[in-house]
Amino acid sequence: MQNTIQHKFEKEIIQVQTRDELEAVYQTYFARKSGSFSKLMQGLKDLSKDERKLYGKALNDMKMKMEKAYDSKKAELNKVELSAQIAKEHIDVTQPKLPVKERGHIHPRTQVRWQLEDVMSSMGFIVEDGPELESDYYVFDTLNIPSYHPARDTQDTFYIKNHPDWTMRSHVSNMQVRLMHKYNENGTKPIRAAYPGRTFRNEATDATHEHTFYQFEALMVDRHITIANLVGVIKELLHALYKRNIEVRLRPSYFPFVEPGFELDIKYVDTNKNEKWMEMLGCGLMHPNVLKAAGYDSHKWNGLAFGMGLDRLVLLKYGIEDIRFLMSCDLRFLKQF
Ligand code: PHE
């Protein structure tokens, strides 16, 4: 009878699938009052002393075996449940790292612009931003560029539909008279200013031309400005940017808003170790008509101005061969600088 109970118990236990089922089986045998095994134990007290001793030992052995079966089933079920949980919460460490959000990167053009701005402000120049959509008054008229001048040609300049006197500025020189109007107190104060900015020209895009590009310009007006001042400021700027002495030369050139006007070339050594001159920027002494437009007495005041393509400087500084990279927003390119 006792053995039958043990076998029945063991058989039932083998079949259970969950811990709840296991617990239920356990209770039918071992619940304090109603469990079938507990009842056997309770029956011991009705036996004689010797019988009690005999049966008691046998029952205890049985209980131990049944509990062992129960324990090992419980351990087995725990293991099954644990591995199910592990499978569910599994992390595949061999899975490739998912892309993380990348931090931005300072564009090489911005880096160069910041450097130029730093040098200019160290020489006492204010740095100002200006409008990209501009009246032809500041882009052309104040700069001694009359309405018949070819620079106004629509082949170069973007005009705004239904606004014949609005342009997307074709150079940042629009800032010259703008800034002088703003700061020279009706032609009574000197000024030093640098003004980087975005400019637009109706150009076919190729390796060295973009319809949208950046310029960096500066002007200085005082009582005794000379070409030596002009060259001195430019050399200082280039020296700071390229971290070496730069040999420069001036070639006469024509810009309506300077007189005399020059192109400034810089000397560089090409990959075959040949010395070469490269055209770098336009410059000159401020034309009297510009000084007048700004409210100065052109007999008492004079000035200098120079302007260059910012992208050009960037290409040169880093040895980049195509200007279109600068507009590409391609991080593989941009992160190299
Ligand atoms: N504005 C001229 C250009 O866009 C550059 C320049 C600036 C030339 C100042 C002379 C003086 O090419």
* Higher pLDDT among residues 147 and 177, named by residue: 177
Spacing, Cα 85 to ligand 1 middle (Å): 72
CB-based contacts of 51, cutoff 8 Å, min separation 6? none
**Residue that has been written with the tokens 């990348």 in this structure:** 102
Q: How much is the average pLDDT of 266-295? A: 92
Q: Is the pLDDT of residue 254 over 90?
A: yes
Percent of the chain residues topping a pLDDT of 90: 62
Q: Give the tokens for residue 219.
A: 């002007």
Average pLDDT value over all residues in the chain: 91
What ranges in the chain are assigned the alpha helix state H?
2-15, 19-30, 36-43, 49-88, 108-122, 136-139, 174-183, 227-242, 288-293, 310-318, 331-334
pLDDT band at 2 (very low <50, low <70, confident <90, very high): low
State if residue 285 touches ligand 1 by the CB under 6 angstroms criterion: no
State if residue 306 touches ligand 1 by the CB under 6 angstroms criterion: yes
Give the tens place of pLDDT for each residue, 189-244: 999 999 999 999 998 888 777 889 999 999 999 999 999 999 999 999 999 998 88
Q: Which of 218, 212, 139 is nearest to 178 (CA)?
A: 139
State if residue 287 touches ligand 1 by the CB under 6 angstroms criterion: no
State if residue 284 touches ligand 1 by the CB under 6 angstroms criterion: yes
pLDDT band at 329 (very low <50, low <70, confident <90, very high): confident
Q: Which of 200, 59, 42 is nearest to 133 (CA)?
A: 200
Q: CB-side exposure of 73: number of CA atoms within 13 Å?
A: 23
Question: Which phi and psi angles does 319 have, rounded to 5°?
Answer: 65, 40
Spacing, Cα 250 to ligand 1 middle (Å): 14
Q: Is the pLDDT of residue 1 over 60?
A: no
Write the DSSP string, 31-78: STTT-HHHHHHHHGGGS-HHHHHHHHHHHHHHHHHHHHHHHHHHHHHH
Q: Is-contact 233 305, C-beta < 8 A?
A: no
pLDDT band at 317 (very low <50, low <70, confident <90, very high): confident
Nearest Cα residue to atom 8 of ligand 1: 282
Say how far apart CA 206 and CA 200 lie, in whole Å. 15
Q: Which atom of ligand 1 is nearest to the CA of 308?
A: 5
State if residue 305 touches ligand 1 by the CB under 6 angstroms criterion: yes
Say how far apart CA 179 and CA 192 lie, in whole Å. 10
pLDDT band at 131 (very low <50, low <70, confident <90, very high): very high
Spacing, Cα 83 to ligand 1 middle (Å): 75
State if residue 309 touches ligand 1 by the CB under 6 angstroms criterion: no
Spacing, Cα 124 to ligand 1 middle (Å): 21
Q: Is-contact 29 16, C-beta < 8 A?
A: no
Q: Determine the residue of 257, 263, 287 to mutate for testing ligand 1's pocket, defined as the one with the most ligand atoms within 8 A of the Cβ atom.
A: 257
CB neighbourhood size of 99 (10 A)? 6
CB neighbourhood size of 47 (10 A)? 13
Q: Is the pLDDT of residue 76 over 70?
A: yes
Q: How much is the average pLDDT of 281-294? A: 98
State if residue 219 touches ligand 1 by the CB under 6 angstroms criterion: no
Q: Is-contact 202 156, C-beta < 8 A?
A: yes
Cα distance from N-terminal residue to C-terminal residue, the chain: 89
State if residue 258 touches ligand 1 by the CB under 6 angstroms criterion: yes
Spacing, Cα 175 to ligand 1 middle (Å): 11
Q: Is the pLDDT of residue 180 over 90?
A: yes
Q: Is the four-CA dihedral 323, 324, 327, 328 of positive or negative sign?
A: negative
Spacing, Cα 58 to ligand 1 middle (Å): 112
Q: Is-contact 175 141, C-beta < 8 A?
A: no
| Strands, E assignment, 208-274 | 212-222, 248-253, 258-269
Say how far apart CA 114 and CA 240 lie, in whole Å. 12
Say how far apart CA 137 and CA 18 lie, in whole Å. 88
Q: Is the pLDDT of residue 247 over 90?
A: yes
Q: Which of 241, 238, 219 is nearest to 230 (CA)?
A: 219
Q: Which atom of ligand 1 is nearest to the CA of 215?
A: 4
